[in-house]
């Protein structure tokens, strides 16, 4: 993806390495319970209909030189609804040119597609829907650097162009090359051009379910004289936002049921007016270090804020994790062949956090300007079924968040202290067939514990008594118990 100067907007937390015993996985998540109840899934048809299945035998793969940590996705028909996954797929990279591409892409719940690639490779949206009838397909609309299909009709640089300038008249250039676009100039000519493209190629009959409007920043790029008055001040921010609101209002009026998602790099701030017309936004580089912060709380607060701001339509929040962390450059991310333990931790934390709330979707790839992978992970095969309620804070330890699903438990531990969870799930079978012990969620990490089919009434059995939590946590901290992961 493209993300522009708004890099200041945000960033996210990181996933730590966990101990992985053969065959089992636990993902911990921290969640804020309050949000979920109010946020509807953007895709209500995704709801909770998958058939019950036996617990999956899964392991979390630690990466090393011989085990990249990802593999190609399956091609089978999709019935899974949780975890809910998003694939930001707009780059045409060699690793993305695979067989059965439509069926593989269809494994994600939400797929963001570059229409140039769809045309070039003759990808069929219909075939994707055949593999995954509930899939939501969004066209990638780059507002700050047209793809091939959108570039036709854009004036060349000159006195009558649509490119963004500073107050001194010089052009603004993004880190991906070319020019930034001026969304105000000539009666919003560029945005009207975008609207024509969308009507003609994206949102007609048989087309996409909606749009992912890339670089829909909450404010103008640094230094941009958006209102062309020769100075750069707060009036430029107002002009920028009003133009973006023009685009959103127009789209919402013409396509009232379309899914409209924007990417500002970081999620839009709570006071951003775009929420009034959109279904939600993306948090790119979540838990990474490219756009702002690595702390889980940044991710969590942004997720809650974004979902709480959507009303009168289905809400969604796209948590897009990637390997831009630990000061890794884009060039290094492009050639990375295996996930590091910290990548794995950040992956687990992001995935589990998305499971804490209705409406959140998770994806993981190479990151900014490199989005175009079909990375599939063992955890994606966990078929957790429907949530049995909202996430609960503190149930498995102070500061932690847990959420029950029909076929598993999600635990997020954003604290600095390991937490231990007694293996009391489905006592008739144990988790992964093992009984009588506990597993540990390390600090700033998460686990997903698959389990057999369960009913809501079973969930209280999983809770530890407060005293037990504290004792377990402390004993774990002293290393007196071995972490055990379960499948
Ligand atoms: Ca100005």
- CATH number of the structural domain spanning residue 349: 3.20.20.70
Inside any domain, residue 150: yes
Average pLDDT of span 309-338: 96
Distance 185 CA to ligand 1 centre (A): 12
- Between the CA of 230 and the centroid of ligand 1 the distance, in Å, is 6
- Residue 433's alpha-carbon distances to 26, 91, 449, 455, 487, in angstroms, are 14, 43, 12, 19, 9
Q: What is the pLDDT of residues 240-291, one digit of tens each?
A: 999 999 999 999 999 999 999 999 999 999 999 999 999 999 999 999 999 8
Residue 234 falls within a domain, yes or no?
Answer: yes
Number of H helices, E strands in the chain: 11, 14
Which helix (H) or strand (E) covers residue 447, if one does? strand 445-450
Half-sphere exposure of 156 (CA within 13 A, CB side): 0
Where in the sequence is the domain holding 118, given as residue range(s)? Answer: 5-18+65-381
Task: Provide the number of structural domains found in the chain.
Answer: 1
Residue 402 CA to ligand 1 center (angstroms) comes to 48
At residue 198, does pLDDT exceed 50? yes
**Cα 272 to averaged position of ligand 1 atoms, centre (Å):** 20
Residue 40 lies in a domain: no
pLDDT of 362 over the 80 cut:
yes
In the reported structure, the alpha carbon of residue 224 is separated from the centroid of ligand 1 by a whole-number distance in angstroms of: 7
Residue 253 domain flag: yes
How, if at all, do strands 392-393 and 360-365 pair? unpaired
For 65, list phi and psi in degrees, rounded to 5.
-65, -25
pLDDT of residue 164: 98
157 Cα to the center of ligand 1, angstroms: 20
| Mean pLDDT of the 63-79 span | 80
d(CA 438, CA 139): 45
The rounded Å distance from CA 158 to ligand 1 centre is 20
Distance 332 CA to ligand 1 centre (A): 38
Confidence of residue 423 (pLDDT cuts 50, 70, 90): low
* 110, 140 contact by CB (below 8 A): no
* Percent above pLDDT 90 for the chain: 72
Lowest-pLDDT choice from 329-343, 357-371, 435-449: 435-449
What pLDDT, on the 0 to 100 scale, is given for residue 358?
96
Q: CA-CA distance, 400 to 397, in Å (whole number)? A: 5
Residue 346 in any domain: the answer is: yes
Task: Specify the pairing of strand 445-450 against strand 408-413.
Answer: antiparallel
CB atoms within 10 A of CB 58: 24
Cα of 241 vs centre of ligand 1, distance in Å, is 13
54 inside domain: no
CA of 234 to the centre of ligand 1 (A): 8
Whole-number Å distance, alpha carbon 150 to ligand 1 midpoint, is 27
Buried-exposed string 228-243: b where 16+ CB fall within 10 A, e elsewhere: eeeebeeebbebbbeb
Give the Å distance between the CA of 198 and the centre of ligand 1.
29
Residue 473 pLDDT > 50, yes or no? no
CA distances from 24 to 139, 201, 390, 413, 469 (A): 36, 45, 24, 18, 22
Highest average pLDDT, of 41-55, 418-432, 469-483, comes from: 418-432
Q: Is position 247 within any domain?
A: yes
Token pair, residue 71, equals 């593999």
Question: Is residue 225, in this structure, part of any structural domain at all?
Answer: yes
Task: Determine the distance separating the centroid of ligand 1 and the alpha carbon of 227, expressed in angstroms.
Answer: 5
How many angstroms separate the alpha carbon of residue 225 from the centre of ligand 1? 4
Spatial separation of the C-alpha atoms in residues 51 and 253, rounded to whole Å: 38
State yes or no: pLDDT of 336 exceeds 70.
yes
Whether residue 231 is predicted with pLDDT greater than 90 in this model: the reply is yes
**Can you read off the two tokens belonging to residue 411?**
């635990």
> Is 456 a residue whose pLDDT tops 80?
no
């Amino acid at each position: 993806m493209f993300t522009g100067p708004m890099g200041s907007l945000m960033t996210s937390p990181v996933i730590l390495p966990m101990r992985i015993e053969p065959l089992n996985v636990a993902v911990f998540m921290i969640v804020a319970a309050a949000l979920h109840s109010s946020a509807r899934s953007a895709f209500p048809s995704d709801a909770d209909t998958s058939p019950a299945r036996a617990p999956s035998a899964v392991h979390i793969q630690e990466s090393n030189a011989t085990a990249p940590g990802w593999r190609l996705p399956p091609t089978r028909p999709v019935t899974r609804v949780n975890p809910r996954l998003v694939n930001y797929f707009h780059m045409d990279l060699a690793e993305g040119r695979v067989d059965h591409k439509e069926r593989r892409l269809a494994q994600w719940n939400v797929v963001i597609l570059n229409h140039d690639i769809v045309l070039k490779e003759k990808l069929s949206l219909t075939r994707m829907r055949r593999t995954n009838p509930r899939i939501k397909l969004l066209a990638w609309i780059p507002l700050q650097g047209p793809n091939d299909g959108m570039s036709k009709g854009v004036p060349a640089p000159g006195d009558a162009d649509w490119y963004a300038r500073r107050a001194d008249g010089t052009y603004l250039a993004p880190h991906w090359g070319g020019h930034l676009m001026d969304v105000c100039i000539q009666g919003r000519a560029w945005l009207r051009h975008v609207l024509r493209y969308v009507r003609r190629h994206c949102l007609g009959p048989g087309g996409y379910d909606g749009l992912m409007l890339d670089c829909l920043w909450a404010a103008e790029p640094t230094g941009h004289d958006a209102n062309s008055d020769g100075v750069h001040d707060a009036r430029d921010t107002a002009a920028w936002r009003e133009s973006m609101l023009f685009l959103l209002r127009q789209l919402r009026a013409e396509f009232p049921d379309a899914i409209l998602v924007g990417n500002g790099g970081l999620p839009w701030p709570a006071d951003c007016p775009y929420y009034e017309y959109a279904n939600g936004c993306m948090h790119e580089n979540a838990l990474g270090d490219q756009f702002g912060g690595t702390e889980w709380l940044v991710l969590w607060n942004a997720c809650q804020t974004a979902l709480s701001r959507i009303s009168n339509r289905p809400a969604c929040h796209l948590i897009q994790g990637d390997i831009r962390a630990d000061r890794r450059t884009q060039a290094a991310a492009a050639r990375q062949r295996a996930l590091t333990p910290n990548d794995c931790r950040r992956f687990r934390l992001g995935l589990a956090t998305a499971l804490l709330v209705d409406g959140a979707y998770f994806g993981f790839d190479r990151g900014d300007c490199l989005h175009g992978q079909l990375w599939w992970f063992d955890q994606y095969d966990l078929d957790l079924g429907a949530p049995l309620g909202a996430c609960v804070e503190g149930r498995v330890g102070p500061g932690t968040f847990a959420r029950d699903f029909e076929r598993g438990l999600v635990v997020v531990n954003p604290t600095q202290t390991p937490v231990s969870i007694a293996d009391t799930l489905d006592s008739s079978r144990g988790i992964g067939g093992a009984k009588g012990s506990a597993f540990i969620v390390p600090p700033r990490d998460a686990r997903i514990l698959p389990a057999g089919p369960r009913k809501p009434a079973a969930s209280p059995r999983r809770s530890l008594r407060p005293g037990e939590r504290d004792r377990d946590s402390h004993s774990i901290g002293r290393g007196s118990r071995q972490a055990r992961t379960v499948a």
